[in-house]
Amino acid sequence: MKITITKQHLDRALRLSAKAVARDGTLPIVRNVLLSVGDGIASCVATNLDVGVRVQLSAKAERDGQVVCAPHLLGSFIAPLQDDDVVTIETQDRSVLIRAKRSQATLPMLDAADFPPLPSAESAETAVVVPVASFRDALSRVIPCVAKTEARPELGGVFIASDGEDIVLAATDGFRLAEVRCTRTEGGFTDSVIVPASAVAELLSVLTDVPDDGVRMMVGDGQMFVRCGDVTIVSRLIAATYPDYAQIIPSRGETVAVVSRGDMEKALRVAQTFAHRINSDMEMAVEKDTLTLSAASQESGTHTTTLSATVEGGSQTLRLNPRYVLDGVSRCGSDSVEIHITQPAAPVLIVPHDGATAYRYVVMPIRT
**Count of CB atoms situated within 10 Å of the CB of 175:** 13
Rounded Cα–Cα distance for residues 307 and 293 (Å):
8
What's the length of the chain? 368
b/e map 287-317, b = 16+ CB within 10 Å: beeebbbbbbbeeeeebbbebebebeeeebe
Q: What is the CA radius of gyration of the chain?
A: 25
Question: What pTM was estimated for this model as a whole?
Answer: 0.88
**What is the predicted pLDDT for the residue at 184?**
87
pLDDT digits (tens, 9 = 90+) for 206-252: 888 777 778 899 998 889 999 988 999 999 999 999 999 999 999 88
**How confident is the model at residue 251, as a pLDDT?**
86
Residue 293 pairs with which residues in a beta bridge?
284, 305
* Cβ-Cβ contacts under 8 Å for 102 (sequence gap 6 or more): none
Continuous segment of H or E residues that includes residue 285: strand 282-287
Q: Residue 18 pLDDT more than 70?
A: yes
Share of the chain above pLDDT 70, in %: 98
Region of 189 on the Ramachandran plot (φ > 0 left; ψ -120 to 50 alpha; else beta):
beta
Q: What is the pLDDT of residue 210?
A: 78
Q: What is the mean pLDDT of residues 299-326?
A: 94
What pLDDT is stored for residue 323 in this prediction? 94
Give the residue with greater pLDDT, 125 vs 322. Answer: 322
pLDDT (0 to 100) of residue 289: 94
How far is CA 160 from each of CA 196, 200, 347, rounded to the nearest angstrom? 11, 11, 22
* pLDDT for residue 224: 92
Q: Which residue has the higher pLDDT, 184 or 365?
A: 365
> How do residues 46-101 score in pLDDT, each as one tens digit?
999 889 999 999 899 889 999 999 999 999 999 999 999 999 999 988 899 999 99
CB atoms within 10 A of CB 40: 9
CA 277 vs. chain centroid, Å, equals 28
Report DSSP letters for 107-121, one per residue: EE-B-GGGSPPPPPG
- Ordered domains of the chain (ranges, CATH): 2-114 (3.10.150.10), 121-246 (3.10.150.10), 249-363 (3.10.150.10)
Q: Angle of helix 132-142 relative to helix 197-207, nearest 10 degrees?
A: 140
Written as one string, the DSSP assignment of 177-225 is EEEEEEE-SEE--SS-EEEEHHHHHHHHHHHTTS-SS-EEEEEETTEEE
Per-residue confidence (pLDDT) for residue 278, from 0 to 100: 65
Q: How many CB atoms lie within 10 A of CB 25?
A: 11
pLDDT at 356 over 80: no
User: Each residue of 273-310: pLDDT tens digit?
Assistant: 998 766 678 999 999 999 999 998 888 889 999 999 99
**pLDDT tens digits along 140-178:** 999 999 999 888 999 999 999 988 788 999 999 999 999
The per-residue pLDDT for 357 is: 66
